[in-house]
Amino acid sequence: MSEGENRPSEGSPQAGVVTVSDVQELIRRKEEIEAQIKANYEVLESQKGVGMNEPLVDCEDYPRSDVDLYQVRTARHNIACLQNDHKAIMKQVEEALHQLHARDKEKQARDMAEAHKEAMSRSLGQSEGLSQPQAFAKVNSVSPGSPASTAGLQVDDEIVEFGSVNTQNFQSLHNVGSVVQHSEGKPLNVTVIRRGEKHQLRLVPTRWAGKGLLGISTYSSSEITDDVPWGTVVGKHLPLPWTWVWLGISSF
């Protein structure tokens, strides 16, 4: 066997991106070299167990006649070459495994980061959903061509803010009516919850072809009052069991 016959080939996997199959091939070659080293040691053992360092001459410096000198020298040469090959390929295996493990760690880190981001996003979405203010009125109908329609209000929108009126200070429909009456021709910021999402609208109470200044009807959870003037219909419900009672308010 010539020197370097089993040495790793040029362009080994360590030069590029290492795959699992590359590592398996390196391990196969390593085991092949180890088997050849063992076979050559068996040759030495068969020659009186001369090993790698036993002298091949007798006490008078004559070549020994009790061993096959050619076989011994060839086996020793092969073992020396194969041990160098084994050292080189073991280094390649170590580096390849290091690359694989590093990539696995990077992938695990990316996966964990993505999972954490997704969990945080889901948690944030749930928190936002839980933190949304309670609506004090719900849109029942919107008249086509009305200021409410122009502003983008839709049926089933839940109103959480209407100008200066919000969930915290809302007491009755008089609050909303007062804001509308004092805001004719002036833009009002209206916040609604629509299918779980918050929307900001700009509503301008204005005289139009229909009744009132807005052109909508809503459900409201405020207390019932009997002294609200007639206008566009606004709905209100009593405590459980819910009973819908229709009231009027000129502002609407």
Q: Which of 67, 95, 130 is the last residue of a domain?
A: 130
Domain identity same for 80 and 168: no
Domain identity same for 52 and 89: yes
Domain identity same for 179 and 121: no
In a domain, residue 125? The reply is: yes
CATH number at residue 154: 2.30.42.10
The answer on pLDDT for 230 being more than 50 is: no
DSSP string, 115-156: HHHHHHHHHHHHHHHHHSPPPSEEEEEE-TTSHHHHHT--TT
Please give the single-letter amino acid code of residue 251.
S
**pLDDT band at 140, cuts 50/70/90?**
confident
Q: Rg for the chain (alpha carbons), in Å?
A: 45
Going by DSSP bridges, is the β-strand pair 188-194/216-220 parallel, antiparallel, or unpaired? unpaired
Least confident of 19-33, 131-145, 218-232: 218-232
Strands (E), the chain: 137-142, 158-162, 165-166, 188-194, 197-203, 216-220, 232-237, 244-249
In a domain, residue 5? The reply is: no
**C-alpha to C-alpha distance for 97 and 102, rounded to whole angstroms:** 8
In a domain, residue 3? The reply is: no
In a domain, residue 75? The reply is: yes
Q: DSSP letter for 66, please.
A: S
CA angle 252, 152, 159 (to 5 degrees): 60
Domain identity same for 174 and 102: no
Whether pTM > 0.85 for this model: the answer is no
Domain identity same for 34 and 117: yes
Task: With residue 87 as reference, give the H or E element that holds it.
Answer: helix 69-131
Domain identity same for 213 and 145: yes
Residue written as token pair 């580096």: 95
Domain identity same for 44 and 123: yes
Domain identity same for 146 and 67: no
SS3 43: helix
Domain interval for residue 218: 137-249
In a domain, residue 58? The reply is: yes
In a domain, residue 8? The reply is: no
pLDDT digit string, tens, across residues 4-37: 444 444 445 545 688 889 999 999 999 999 999 9
pLDDT of residue 239: 34
When divided into structural domains, the chain yields a total of: 2
In a domain, residue 167? The reply is: yes
SS3 72: helix
Domain identity same for 170 and 77: no
138, 157 in Cβ contact below 8 A? yes
CA angle 151, 153, 155 (to 5 degrees): 160
**pLDDT band at 3, cuts 50/70/90?**
very low
Domain identity same for 56 and 35: yes
Domain identity same for 123 and 141: no
Q: Which of 111, 130, 149 is the last residue of a domain?
A: 130
pLDDT digit string, tens, across residues 50-64: 999 999 998 888 999
Q: Which of 98, 130, 162 is the last residue of a domain?
A: 130
Structure tokens at 159: 């109103």
Domain identity same for 145 and 124: no
In a domain, residue 90? The reply is: yes
**C-alpha to C-alpha distance for 216 and 203, rounded to whole angstroms:** 12
pLDDT digit string, tens, across residues 168-216: 888 877 788 788 888 888 999 999 999 888 899 999 998 888 887 887 7
Q: DSSP letter for 247, please.
A: E
Least confident of 11-15, 45-49, 78-82, 132-136: 11-15
